Amino acid sequence: MNEQTDSEAPATQAARGGWAADFVTRPSAPPLYQTTAFDLEDLGQLDDVVSGKSQGYIYTRDGNPNREAFASDVARLEGAEAGVACSSGMGALTATLMALLKSGDHLVAARVLYGRTGQLLNHLQNSFGVRVTFVDANQPDEFAAAVTPGTKLAIVESVSNPLLEVADLPAIAAAVGGVPLLVDSTFATPCLLRPIDHGATLVWHSASKYLNGHGDVMLGVIVGPSASIRRIKGLSSLYGVNSNPYECWMASRGLRTLPLRIERVSASAQILAEFLASQPQVGRVYYPGLPAHPTRRQAERLLTRGCGGMLSFELNGGRPAVDAFFRELAETIPFSPTLADARTTLSYPAGTSHKFMTAAERAACGIRDGLVRLSVGLEDAGDLQRELSAGLACL
């Protein structure tokens, strides 16, 4: 705490104010460290903090207590050694790819991924000479066939966006052998699936989604071995994709209710998936909790605590039907191009998450013009079913 005396001029007192007297009682909720930098006593302390001899922070882009707390909490939930939080899910992926790959390296990726993930991989291929092979995640043998001596990374989603296909992670991990496997587990969360338990090396989340869970944070996190995370953390600072303290503090608060929220949305999504599958206006429902889902067997084996709060379905009538459906539900279940808010929302993959793909590329991934993605929130399942029924009735 800064010492102040009555002899100081008002300008000095004002500039150096804001400090409370030192205290020894511990706050019952984690405090927010909303500071750009941390003061140091002398050059010796600087050297000790930089070398890791003593704990401390210097500059928030490089490290901050809120950032470390959130990343460490996610790492524990995932069974990982360490983690790092970044400014967004894409920021976390960018830092990871820059840390683990260089021009000329090769990576293998699932063909069905979040649209921006695929766009970034294509950008690395076209602009930086990173070779990318896309394969069918439902065919682990394709991963094995694609691996070369130059393969440095493999990427897959534990539960795919937007068709909710559950990857056979043990089989894929075995197929890529010693190649690090990066798993986007945003849809599953560690409450339903821990990819590291099934052979993954790194686990990546858009923490804006379920980990925070309230639609008011932009954040990403990646966890894995300490050595890899150190490299990724360094690149996140260098490229300026580091997280800020407030976003991490908010996400830490959301993380405390994650198990309760996932249990609730999983139960409601199962009810709604079964309801939608029985409606004449719906051509097909994609939810791994349904017997007809193509990856139901993997879901039964890997998602033993529920299948999550995301589902997709195709409306007969294509894009015009989707537009009418969204208009009818605008006041109850809004069209919002994100997911995992506390409220239930609808999205249109062909026009939002996967709009950067060509029509042919979307068709190859099974994303048709009538596809709707439903992010189930915390509302009463009966109310949601009634509202969806009203929306379908207008078609």
CATH number of residue 277's parent domain: 3.90.1150.10
**Domain annotation covers residue 33:** no
pLDDT above 70 (res 3):
no
Q: Residues 232, 287: one domain? A: no
**Domain annotation covers residue 4:** no
Separation between Cα atoms, residue 336 and residue 326, nearest integer Å: 10
Separation between Cα atoms, residue 94 and residue 228, nearest integer Å: 14
Q: Residues 62, 202: one domain? A: yes
Q: Residues 166, 280: one domain? A: no
Better pLDDT: 361 or 26: 26
Mean pLDDT over 41-54 rounds to 94
pLDDT of the residue at 355: 75
pLDDT of the residue at 341: 96
Better pLDDT: 199 or 363: 199
Separation between Cα atoms, residue 62 and residue 222, nearest integer Å: 16
pLDDT of the residue at 95: 97
Mean pLDDT over 347-368 rounds to 81
**How many domains does the chain contain in total?**
2
Mean pLDDT over 272-294 rounds to 98
The conformational region for residue 282 under phi > 0 = left, psi -120 to 50 = alpha, else beta, is: beta
Q: Which of 136-150, 291-305, 310-324, 358-372 has the lowest mean pLDDT?
A: 358-372
> Domain range for residue 195?
43-255
**Domain annotation covers residue 30:** no
Q: Residues 313, 328: one domain? A: yes
**Domain annotation covers residue 6:** no
**Domain annotation covers residue 13:** no
Q: Residues 177, 78: one domain? A: yes
Q: Residues 248, 262: one domain? A: no
CA 68 to chain centre: 17
CA 221 to chain centre: 7
**Domain annotation covers residue 139:** yes
Q: Residues 236, 279: one domain? A: no
Q: Residues 304, 373: one domain? A: yes
Mean pLDDT over 358-369 rounds to 81
Best CA proximity match to 381, nearest among 296, 267, 285, 277: 267
Separation between Cα atoms, residue 156 and residue 158, nearest integer Å: 6
Mean pLDDT over 212-225 rounds to 98
pLDDT of the residue at 6: 66
Separation between Cα atoms, residue 14 and residue 164, nearest integer Å: 56
**Domain annotation covers residue 24:** no
pLDDT band at 351 (very low <50, low <70, confident <90, very high): confident
Mean pLDDT over 197-219 rounds to 98
